[in-house]
């Protein structure tokens, strides 16, 4: 499972960065120049230079992507821990609730709030 799938499963999206888009352009240019270098050997050094730029930009872009992913995931984990502690305190104040009721309350509190549309109101 990749980072994008994990992010989606956690309910957040990490947009493509400018560096990621630049990397894609460099990849296309490097491939085109390397293919053209088969007929024109003078283009091979340019193609190799572009290929190395792709490698460097891919590594930096991957690092940035991972840091964005980790910071958002870390925020989610901290929020879950905070909610769990809050719920533990609330559960100890409401001993009359069954475990099923407590779980239902946790699920409803964890859901994002949704505003009613004009049709639903």
Q: Round to whole Å and give the CA distance between 101 and 83.
A: 16
pLDDT bucket at 80, cuts 50 / 70 / 90: confident
Q: Round to whole Å and give the CA distance between 79 and 25.
A: 38
The predicted structure's pLDDT at residue 94? 54
**Closest C-alpha to 102, from 119, 78, 86, 120:** 86
Give 47's contacts (C-beta < 8 A, 6+ positions apart): 30, 33, 34, 36, 37
At 17-48, the pLDDT tens digits run 888 889 999 999 999 999 999 999 999 999 99
pTM (two decimals): 0.56
The predicted structure's pLDDT at residue 8? 73
At 85-114, the pLDDT tens digits run 777 766 665 556 667 776 777 776 666 654
pLDDT bucket at 49, cuts 50 / 70 / 90: very high
């Amino acid at each position: 499972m990749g980072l994008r799938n994990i992010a989606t499963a956690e309910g957040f999206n990490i947009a493509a960065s400018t560096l990621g888009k630049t990397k894609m352009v460099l990849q296309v240019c490097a491939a085109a120049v390397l293919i053209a270098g088969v007929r024109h050997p003078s283009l091979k050094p340019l193609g190799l230079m572009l290929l190395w730029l792709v490698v460097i930009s891919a590594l930096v872009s991957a690092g940035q992507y991972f840091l964005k992913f980790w910071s958002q995931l870390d925020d989610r984990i901290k929020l879950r821990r905070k909610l769990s502690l809050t719920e533990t305190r609330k559960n100890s104040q409401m001993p009359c609730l069954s475990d099923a009721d407590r779980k239902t309350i946790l699920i409803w509190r964890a859901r994002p709030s949704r505003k009613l549309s004009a049709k639903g109101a």
